Amino acid sequence: MIRTLWQRLWQPSKRFAIGVIFIVGGVGGVIFWGGFNTFMEHTNTLEFCISCHEMRDTVYEEYKTSVHYSNPSGVRAICSDCHVPKAWGPKLVRKIQASNELLHKVLGTIDTPEKFEEHRLELAQRVWAAMEANDSRECRNCHSFDAMHWEKQRRRSSEKMQEAVKKGQTCIECHKGIAHKRPKQERDD
């Protein structure tokens, strides 16, 4: 009897082994998922976004002079508010796209402020096209036509915004250059 008990302890059943695998796999999955999400959120911080000198010395300096950085209401939008979707699926897609941008930094395509400026129009056009395609989804996280007080806006702004609503326009069609300077190549055209 002791021998049988001893053998059972040293030779666990298949159900026990499968249970251990599920528990270890589940705990490992939770740890992996938590780490993955923590890293994804870390890449949404302003500090991460401006950690390379091309961003810190160019678009960040422009952003600091914009209404998205400092305004009467004290609300500040950071890079991820405008460039990263809130929903998890689109966020993951955007992060994959961003890894391509990081690859080009490593490859040397945009590793200096001069090279960044050389490619700036192409990069801006890619952002503008994405914003047009998703109806300026990230803008609408904070801005809503339904919440606007037309009568509190400047007359011309109110007219143009109401016209945009009627035409079904998206934010970026009129508001390129709101947080960053428009690329020099585009301004020269």
Q: Check the annotation: does 159 bind a ligand.
A: no
177 torsion bin: left (phi>0), alpha (psi -120 to 50), beta (else)? left
Q: Check the annotation: does 142 bind a ligand.
A: yes
Structure-block tokens of residue 157: 């702004």
Place of tokens 């960040």: 60
Q: Check the annotation: does 1 bind a ligand.
A: no
Give first-to-last CA distance, the chain, whole Å.
92
**How many Cβ atoms are within 10 Å of 178's Cβ, its own excluded?**
15
Residue 92 to residue 88: CA distance in whole angstroms:
6
Count of alpha carbons within 13 angstroms of residue 173, beta-carbon side? 13
Q: Check the annotation: does 82 bind a ligand.
A: yes
Residue 96 to residue 90: CA distance in whole angstroms:
10
Q: Check the annotation: does 174 bind a ligand.
A: yes
Q: Check the annotation: does 143 bind a ligand.
A: yes
Q: Check the annotation: does 47 bind a ligand.
A: no
Q: Check the annotation: does 42 bind a ligand.
A: no
Q: Check the annotation: does 131 bind a ligand.
A: no
Q: Check the annotation: does 83 bind a ligand.
A: yes
Q: Check the annotation: does 114 bind a ligand.
A: no
Q: At what angle do helices 14-42 and 88-107 cross, to 10 degrees?
A: 70
Residues 6+ away with beta carbon under 8 Å from 127: 83
Q: Check the annotation: does 117 bind a ligand.
A: no
Q: What residues form the annotated binding site?
A: 49, 52, 55, 79, 82-83, 101, 139, 142-143, 171, 174-175, 180
Q: What residues form the annotated binding site for a menaquinol?
A: 82
Q: What residues form the annotated binding site for heme?
A: 49, 52, 55, 79, 83, 101, 139, 142-143, 171, 174-175, 180
